[in-house]
Amino acid sequence: MGSPGLINRNNGHHQQQRLGITEPISLGGPTDYDVTKTRELEKFLQDAGLYESQEEAVSREEVLGRLDQIVKNWVKVISRAKGLNEQLVQEANAKIFTFGSYRLGVHGPGADIDTLCVGPRHATREEDFFGELYRMLSEMPEVTELRPVPDAHVPVMNFKFKGVSIDLLYAKLSLWVIPEDLDVSQDSILQNTDEQTVRSLNGCRVTDQILRLVPNIQAMQNFRTTLRCMRFWAKRRGVYSNVSGFLGGINWALLVARICQLFPNALPNMLVSRFFRVYTQWRWPNPVMLSTIEEGSLGLPVWDPRRNPKDRYHLMPIITPAYPSMNSSYNVSSSTLHIMTEEFQRGNEICEAMEASKAEWDTLFEPFSFFEAYKNYLQIDISADNEDDLRQWKGWVESRLRQLTLKIERHTYNMLQCHPHPGDFSDKSRPLHCSYFMGLQRKQGVPVNEGEQFDIRITVEEFKNSVNLYTLWKPGMEIRVTHVKKRNIPIFVFPSGVRPCRPLKATWDSKRNSEAKVANNSSADKLSEGKGVPDGSDEGKKRKQIDDDTENNLRNPKCFAAMPPSGGDVHEGSPPAGNVSSCSTQSDLVITNSLGELKGEKADNNETESVNDSQNLAGTYAQNGKLDGILRCNLPGKGLLSNNDTSGSKEAEKLAIDKIMSGPYVAHQALPQELDELEDDFVYTNQGKGSEWAEKGSPVESSLSNTAAEQTNDIAAVACGNGPGPSAYLYPNGGLEELEPAELMAPLFGFSSSPPVAQPKPLIRLNFTSLGKAAGKST
């Protein structure tokens, strides 16, 4: 039952091909309604400009052909330079492969092309690819913005060729000659290769497997339309970003492909609807898989929570189908999982409203108003002395922003959640500068104690220290973290630099917000009248705006220590605690734990259970056994919708989804130091743009130098210390250090030609309002 091979299933007068690890949920074909709505969807995507022109398509093909010629010439040049005889020089070959959105056929105008250069065993990555090939490209006038990133997790060269953006990876095989008909999907291609080559090959191998595991040619076209739709939806709703802790291209492709397996005869209209229905009901961290996980014969590590402790902490496993199978979504945090779960619920509600003729496609794609959703934000500003330095600094900081989210979650015991904006913003009046933003809110379901606060000053300082461990740091590379309230959000984040007024046209979110507000008032009335605690069953409650009108709570708060559990010793050579206990911002980073409820308790309980399971999971296969070298789930052989069931009721589909997720869990309690180690493993020496498709999925060993790694451990030890002085996190009697405005405006760091050293900083304090005054905001 767990075999990823094809299984024939009788469907009337013809055989129905089945791919995947379970039976399809429904084999029903499209209705007239599906045909009509699919045509409307395709027109909507066309009008949105998601398809490239024929001229651009031809230009891309020409660029790829030219690039293939360049690498073939390159490998002959280095072969001759290494002293190979003329026959071997003439036989020497290299080949260009594509993967990602371009290979899947879902790229849009101006999108970059993920490419892989496969070369022979004598063509090295360091000397030949990043040496000779880089030199050749740099001398070509049609090549611009050339940037090599050899120290990235997946080494890459980024450049534009005749205006087309290219991300070029390199894989050195153990072959002396690369054949033109090379099939990189064969496992034997991985023999005697290094880890960087395995990672680089993974993008092509995963893409090929996705194309093979979508049921048939017609289903492939439906898959492409649905994936294009979901990618556009995710970008509009602000949940398309692997590096920010959401999902990237590979993740969305795998999720859509699984829906195509479960509904192989459905048109995009139904596939989009079932996408939201299935993943709204999905009990994370149950893994999404297109095929069973093969252990293989090469001994490469695969995703297996039973054997790999780090795999047990993945919150939203989406497993790649190519060997070695890994989790492609390890970046997801508790906060981002919560946000995506709400977005899936919103999408499901809109699709149901569309079926009732109460909504249209444009409702589904309404953009998420990030800067209207919260009352409090963290603003992370970075700057550098020149364009090249800023590009490198941005890549590094972006790779570390996820750590700030994780640290805040952990240090506040998951009671404070962050919503990172997936993009960056630039102020035209400030060159060589960009900003990132995170919305902040109290986690739903957390009991509200008036005056209780989250102190995340040291959390922020710890994050900045980890960022400044960048081994390629140069003078001028600066980072600053500040707290801004919604009313003070800088205008350069808004289109045309104009702060928007309240929308004249009601949106789906605003309507749901009004309903949630009415429900909240009703619940509050019941509480005040002594009618008991409301059950919170209103499914319309969503993320809501949080009020900030209680400035008086600053003076005598009961301060909650937002710190990791104590117990670590301070290592010799650690920075003084006083230098770590504050940071330079415009206001204080002590967050009052009095944010309003965000969602009905019924829905909240489901979400909380999912997150709790995620933090304590030990893998879904622990009791499922290992058979014939293949990891298998206890999957149902029957009980899904029958062949004669053309569409299936919602209840039947719900039961079918439940059976797909039948694997049991074994709890594993994470210790704080274990989580610290997991975070530190994700540190890279340098983070280029790279390609999320090429990553193996699971965090790997850090490539920091020993000195940098020791510094990281020292900083963590200071944060965990329980000694006296400013490093103590609990402020007795609510006493908080107050600073003069001049001090609050002081620069964050004073850089010189020496490595960056943290300077004493003033406090940051964030304040949120009481439950009774919280304003509603739906998603």
Last residue of a domain, one of 315, 342, 368: 368
> Quick one: 224 and 292 in the same domain?
yes
What single letter denotes the amino acid at residue 377? Y
> Quick one: 181 and 266 in the same domain?
no
Q: Which of 299-303, 331-335, 669-673, 725-729 has the lowest mean pLDDT?
A: 725-729
Look at residue 374 in the predicted model and tell me its pLDDT.
92
List C-alpha distances in Å: 613 to 19, 111, 277, 548, 580.
29, 37, 21, 33, 33
Mean pLDDT of 230-254: 96
Q: What interhelical angle do 387-411 and 334-355 show, nearest 10?
A: 90
| Bridge partners of residue 418, in order along the sequence | 440
> Quick one: 196 and 61 in the same domain?
yes
| pTM greater than 0.75 (yes/no) | no
* pLDDT at position 529 over 90: no
d(C-alpha 302, C-alpha 305), whole Å: 9
Whether residue 337 is contained in a domain is answered as yes
> Quick one: 187 and 80 in the same domain?
yes
> Quick one: 157 and 231 in the same domain?
no
Q: Which two tokens stand for residue 93?
A: 């070959």
114: domain CATH number?
3.30.460.10
Whether 671 contacts 615, CB under 8 Å: no
> Quick one: 65 and 200 in the same domain?
yes
> Quick one: 62 and 209 in the same domain?
yes
* pLDDT at position 308 over 50: yes
Give the sign of the dihedral formed by CA 736, CA 741, CA 743, CA 748: positive
Whether 68 contacts 180, CB under 8 Å: no
Contact residues for 598 (Cβ-Cβ < 8 A; gap 6+): 441, 442, 443, 444, 541, 542, 543, 544, 604
pLDDT confidence band for 593 (50 / 70 / 90): very low
Look at residue 520 in the predicted model and tell me its pLDDT.
60
Contact residues for 355 (Cβ-Cβ < 8 A; gap 6+): 33, 273
Query: What is residue 505's DSSP assignment?
Result: S
Whether residue 107 is contained in a domain is answered as yes
d(C-alpha 606, C-alpha 601), whole Å: 9
Express as a percent the part of the chain with pLDDT over 70. Answer: 64
Q: List, for residues 101-152, the tens digit of each pLDDT value.
A: 999 999 999 999 999 999 999 999 999 999 999 999 999 999 999 988 888 8
Q: List, for residues 701-713, the tens digit of each pLDDT value.
A: 333 333 333 333 3
* pLDDT at position 574 over 80: no
Look at residue 341 in the predicted model and tell me its pLDDT.
97
Query: What is residue 668's DSSP assignment?
Result: -
> Quick one: 171 and 265 in the same domain?
no
> Quick one: 228 and 191 in the same domain?
no
Average pLDDT of the chain, as a whole number: 74
d(C-alpha 114, C-alpha 99), whole Å: 6
DSSP per residue, 578-595 = HHHS----SSEEEEES-P
pLDDT confidence band for 758 (50 / 70 / 90): very low
Query: What is residue 698's DSSP assignment?
Result: S
Mean pLDDT of 219-247: 95
* pLDDT at position 488 over 70: yes
41: domain CATH number?
1.10.1410.10
Look at residue 413 in the predicted model and tell me its pLDDT.
87
List C-alpha distances in Å: 652 to 25, 514, 655.
9, 33, 5
pLDDT confidence band for 738 (50 / 70 / 90): very low
Whether 554 contacts 731, CB under 8 Å: no
Whether 240 contacts 234, CB under 8 Å: yes
Q: Whole domain around residue 196: which residue ranges?
A: 54-213
pLDDT confidence band for 656 (50 / 70 / 90): confident
Last residue of a domain, one of 213, 231, 253: 213
pLDDT confidence band for 316 (50 / 70 / 90): very high
> Quick one: 102 and 34 in the same domain?
no
Q: List, for residues 141-196, the tens digit of each pLDDT value.
A: 999 999 888 888 889 999 999 999 999 999 999 999 999 999 999 999 999 999 99
513 half-sphere exposure, CB direction, 13 A CA radius: 18
Q: Which two tokens stand for residue 479?
A: 């980072």
The C-alpha angle with vertex 345 and arms to 339 and 348, in degrees rounded to 5, equals: 145
What is the largest distance, in Å, between two alpha-carbon atoms of the chain? 93
Look at residue 590 in the predicted model and tell me its pLDDT.
59
| Cβ neighbours of 566 (radius 10 Å) | 14
Q: Which of 221-225, 244-248, 277-281, 741-745 has the lowest mean pLDDT?
A: 741-745
Look at residue 350 in the predicted model and tell me its pLDDT.
97
d(C-alpha 93, C-alpha 121), whole Å: 11
Cis peptide, bond prior to residue 4, ω within 30 of zero: no
Q: List, for residues 408-432, the tens digit of each pLDDT value.
A: 999 988 888 899 999 999 998 999 9
Structural domains of the chain, count: 3
Query: What is residue 240's DSSP assignment?
Result: B
d(C-alpha 571, C-alpha 721), whole Å: 10
Look at residue 653 in the predicted model and tell me its pLDDT.
84
Contact residues for 594 (Cβ-Cβ < 8 A; gap 6+): 442, 448, 449, 450, 451, 452, 550, 553, 768, 769, 770, 771
Mean pLDDT of 600-622: 40
Whether residue 530 is contained in a domain is answered as no
Q: List, for residues 39-87, the tens digit of each pLDDT value.
A: 999 999 999 999 999 999 999 999 999 999 999 999 999 999 999 999 9
Whether residue 725 is contained in a domain is answered as no
Strands (E), 593-722: 626-627, 630-631
Instruction: Give the strand pairing for 113-119 and 164-172.
Output: parallel
Phi and psi at 442, nearest 5°, equal -75, 140
First-residue to last-residue Cα distance in the chain:
39
d(C-alpha 636, C-alpha 660), whole Å: 7
Whether 591 contacts 454, CB under 8 Å: yes
Look at residue 657 in the predicted model and tell me its pLDDT.
83
Whether residue 23 is contained in a domain is answered as yes
> Quick one: 236 and 286 in the same domain?
yes
Last residue of a domain, one of 341, 368, 395: 368
Whether residue 224 is contained in a domain is answered as yes
Cis peptide, bond prior to residue 431, ω within 30 of zero: no
Whether 362 contacts 44, CB under 8 Å: yes
Give start and end residues of each alpha helix (H) in 82-194. 86-91, 100-104, 134-138
Q: List, for residues 87-103, the tens digit of each pLDDT value.
A: 999 999 999 999 999 99
Q: Specify the residue for token string 């404070």.
A: 416
* pLDDT at position 235 over 70: yes
pLDDT confidence band for 678 (50 / 70 / 90): very low
Look at residue 417 in the predicted model and tell me its pLDDT.
87
d(C-alpha 56, C-alpha 108), whole Å: 10
Mean pLDDT of 657-673: 53
Look at residue 505 in the predicted model and tell me its pLDDT.
60
Q: Which two tokens stand for residue 339?
A: 């946000």
Strands (E), 216-312: 293-294
> Quick one: 347 and 264 in the same domain?
yes
Whether residue 757 is contained in a domain is answered as no
114 sits in which H/E element: strand 113-119
Whether residue 722 is contained in a domain is answered as no
d(C-alpha 330, C-alpha 324), whole Å: 15
459: domain CATH number?
3.30.70.590
Distance of alpha carbon 479 from its chain centroid, rounded? 22
Q: Which two tokens stand for residue 464?
A: 């900045």
Express as a percent the part of the chain with pLDDT over 90. Answer: 52
